[in-house]
Amino acid sequence: MWVKSGTTARGALARRATAAVGAVLALTLLAAAAASAALGLSPAYVAKTGAAFLAAGTLVVANLDAHPFDRFGAANGVTLVRAALAALLAGLVGEGADPPLAAFAAAAGGIAVALDFVDGRLARASGLASAFGARFDMETDAALVLVLSILAWQTGRAGAWVLAAGALRYVFVAAGVLLPWMRRPLPPSARRQTAAATQMVALVAALAVDPPVSGALAAAALALLGASFAIDTAWLARRRGAPS
């Protein structure tokens, strides 16, 4: 159902979204406390995790004007859970390199990747697919790749070069700030989606195995992701100066 004019429907949407963020935040903090106790993490872990998810949730609520429906939707709820899993992973940054930590990161990352195959299908099935949901999903993917790449380096599964996997998306966005021709919308691409999904799967797998296999997995996926970004950049460069 499309949002009706006026502030009533938008206010109701904001309340529903805020309630969803609050509920997932509470569950995230409980999960962080349990993980901290089980893994012997620092006292700051729960706070780091909560802060990361709260930042994501705040951005979601702040951008609801781009959501064209009066329901937040189950699909966005699933993406919100994926953001919570990303926050649990973000909290692990700086927490050491013990094998149990890597195993926990691989498990949490694996669930987040599996749910990536759910939210889009759920949105389409419910008739609530939107540019807002697609952007929310994409930014969650980018955050997951960033944090997983940091953890792959932190746990010794790959060298510092693996950080490039997490940085590529943000470098691409930053380039668009400096170069107007980089801001042209890109056409939908199965190749782009495959490269991003492969990167997430490879980083999760790298956290679950030991070197040198972990490094080989991460390197192969990074090569694929880098090639995908290079293709997109070349496509944009060829259209530099052309009308949008």
**Omega prior to 212 cis, within 30 of 0:** yes
- Share of the chain residues as helix, strand and coil, in percent rounded to the nearest 5: 80, 0, 20
Q: Which residue from 153, 198, 192, 194 is spatially nearest to 169, judged by alpha carbons?
A: 192
User: Residue 1 has what pLDDT?
Assistant: 32
In percent, the amount of the chain with pLDDT more than 70 equals 96
Question: Residue 4 pLDDT more than 50?
Answer: no
Which tokens belong to 156?
A: 């010794």
Name the DSSP class of 91: T
pTM of the model: 0.93
User: Residue 242 has what pLDDT?
Assistant: 78
Residue 209 burial by Cβ neighbours in a 10 Å radius (0-12, 13-18, 19+): middle
Find residue 69's DSSP bridge partners. Answer: 2
pLDDT tens digit sequence for 69-104: 989 999 999 999 999 999 999 999 999 999 999 999
Q: Which residue from 63, 73, 80 is spatially nearest to 26, judged by alpha carbons?
A: 80
Find residue 2's DSSP bridge partners. Answer: 69
Name the DSSP class of 185: P
Is residue 9 very low, low, confident or very high in pLDDT (cuts 50, 70, 90)? low
User: Residue 244 has what pLDDT?
Assistant: 65
DSSP string computed for 196-233: HHHHHHHHHHHHHS-TTHHHHHHHHHHHHHHHHHHHHH
Is residue 11 very low, low, confident or very high in pLDDT (cuts 50, 70, 90)? confident
Tally the residues of the chain: 244
pLDDT tens digit sequence for 22-35: 999 999 999 999 99
DSSP string computed for 18-84: HHHHHHHHHHHHHHHHHHHHHHT--THHHHHHHHHHHHHHHHHHHTGGG--BSS--HHHHHHHHHHH
pLDDT tens digit sequence for 185-215: 999 899 999 999 999 999 999 999 999 999 9
Instruction: Calculate the average pLDDT of the chain.
Output: 94
